[in-house]
Chain A
Amino acid sequence: MSRRDPIKPILLCAGLALGVTSGLVAHAEDETIKVGVLHSLSGTMAISETTLKDTVLMLVEEQNKKGGLLGKQLEAVVVDPASDWPLFAEKARELLTKDKVAAVFGCWTSVSRKSVLPVFEELNGLLFYPVQYEGEESSKNVFYTGAAPNQQAIPAVDYLRDELGVERWVLAGTDYVYPRTTNKILEAYLKQNGVAEEDIMIDYTPFGHSDWQSIVARIKRFGSEGKKTAVVSTINGDANVPFYKELGNQGISADEIPVVAFSVGEEELSGIDTKPLVGHLAAWNYFMSVDDPANAAFIETWHGFTKDDKRVTNDPMEAHKIGFDLWVQAVEKAGTTDTDAVEAAIIGLETPNLTGGTAKMLPNHHITKPVLIGEIQGDGQFAVVWQTDAEVPGDAWSDYLEGSKDLIADWTPPIKCGNFNTKTQTCLGSQTP
Chain B
Amino acid sequence: MGLVRVTRDDKGGQAMLAILMIVAVVVPLLNLAVPASSPWHVSTYTVTLLGKYLTYALLAVAVDLVWGYLGILSLGHAAFFGLGGYAMGMYLMRQIGDRGVYGHPVLPDFMVFLNWQELPWFWHGFDLFWFAALMAILVPGALAFVFGYLAFRSRVTGVYLSIMTQALTYALMLAFFRNEMGFGGNNGLTDFKDMLGFDLTSDATRVGLFLASALALALGYLACRFIVTSRLGRVAVAIRDAEARTRFLGYRVDRVKLALFTFSAMLAGVAGALYVPQVGIINPGELSPLNSIELVIWVAVGGRATLYGAVIGAILVNYGKTYFTGAFPEAWLFALGALFVVVTLFLPRGIAGVVGMLRTWRRPRSSNGSQPEARG
Direct contact of A and B (CB under 8 A): yes
Q: Which residues of A contact B (CB under 8 A)?
A: 1-10, 12-14, 16-17, 19-21, 23-25, 27, 41-42, 78-82, 84-87, 89-91, 93-94, 97-98, 110-111, 114-115, 117-119, 122, 136-137, 175-177, 180-181, 184, 204, 206-207, 401-404, 407, 418-419, 421, 426, 428-431
User: In the complex, what distance in Å separates the CA atom of A401 from the CA atom of B102?
Assistant: 11
Closest to B202 in A: A122
Are A12 and B50 in contact (CB-based, < 8 A)?
Answer: no
Closest to B39 in A: A25
User: In the complex, what distance in Å separates the CA atom of A176 from the CA atom of B178?
Assistant: 8
The 0/1 profile, CB within 8 Å of A marked 1, for residues 47-88 of chain B is 011101100000000000000000000000000000000000
| 5 sample A-B contacts, Cβ–Cβ < 8 Å, listed by A number | A5-B359, A9-B312, A20-B50, A80-B329, A110-B187
CB of B32 within 8 Å of the partner chain: no
Are A111 and B187 in contact (CB-based, < 8 A)?
Answer: yes
Closest to B43 in A: A97
Q: Which of these, A1, A16, A85, A91, contacts B9 with CB under 8 Å?
A: A1
Are B329 and A6 in contact (CB-based, < 8 A)?
Answer: no
Q: Which of these, B11, B101, B192, B323, contacts A418 with CB under 8 Å?
A: B101
Q: Which of these, B23, B188, B281, B316, contacts A12 with CB under 8 Å?
A: B316
Are A25 and B179 in contact (CB-based, < 8 A)?
Answer: no
CB of B46 within 8 Å of the partner chain: yes
Q: Which residues of B contact A (CB under 8 A)?
A: 9, 11-12, 14-16, 18-19, 22-23, 27, 30, 39, 41-46, 48-50, 52-53, 98-104, 110, 112-115, 174, 177-179, 185-188, 190-193, 201, 279-281, 283, 285-286, 308-309, 312, 315-316, 319, 322-323, 325-326, 329-330, 332-333, 351-352, 354-355, 358-359
Closest to A177 in B: B187
Query: B336 CB to closest chain A CB, in angstroms?
Result: 10
Are A5 and B12 in contact (CB-based, < 8 A)?
Answer: yes
Question: Which residues of A have CB within 8 Å of B329?
Answer: 41-42, 78-80, 82
User: In the complex, what distance in Å separates the CA atom of A122 from the CA atom of B280?
Assistant: 12
Question: Which residues of A have CB within 8 Å of B53?
Answer: 20
- Counting residue pairs across A and B whose Cβ atoms lie within 8 Å, the total is 201
Are A6 and B42 in contact (CB-based, < 8 A)?
Answer: no
A9-B351, A81-B325, A85-B283 given as contacts; is B201 within 8 A of A177 (CB)?
Answer: no
Question: Which residues of B have CB within 8 Å of A177?
Answer: 110, 179, 185-187
Are A90 and B322 in contact (CB-based, < 8 A)?
Answer: yes
Are A184 and B43 in contact (CB-based, < 8 A)?
Answer: no
Question: Which residues of A have CB within 8 Å of B281?
Answer: 85-86, 89, 114-115
Q: Which of these, B99, B115, B280, contacts A184 with CB under 8 Å?
A: B115
Are B113 and A94 in contact (CB-based, < 8 A)?
Answer: no
Query: A202 CB to closest chain B CB, in angstroms?
Result: 12
Question: Which residues of A have CB within 8 Å of B43?
Answer: 24-25, 97-98
Question: Which residues of B have CB within 8 Å of A81?
Answer: 325
Query: B136 CB to closest chain A CB, in angstroms?
Result: 17
Are B30 and A21 in contact (CB-based, < 8 A)?
Answer: yes
Question: Which residues of A have CB within 8 Å of B50?
Answer: 20
User: In the complex, what distance in Å separates the CA atom of A41 from the CA atom of B324?
Assistant: 12
Are B46 and A24 in contact (CB-based, < 8 A)?
Answer: yes
User: In the complex, what distance in Å separates the CA atom of A206 from the CA atom of B181?
Assistant: 14
User: In the complex, what distance in Å separates the CA atom of A330 from the CA atom of B351?
Assistant: 53
Are A79 and B326 in contact (CB-based, < 8 A)?
Answer: yes
User: In the complex, what distance in Å separates the CA atom of A14 from the CA atom of B20?
Assistant: 10
User: In the complex, what distance in Å separates the CA atom of A166 from the CA atom of B211?
Assistant: 61
Closest to B174 in A: A206
User: In the complex, what distance in Å separates the CA atom of A89 from the CA atom of B279?
Assistant: 7
A6-B12, A6-B14 given as contacts; is B45 within 8 A of A98 (CB)?
Answer: yes
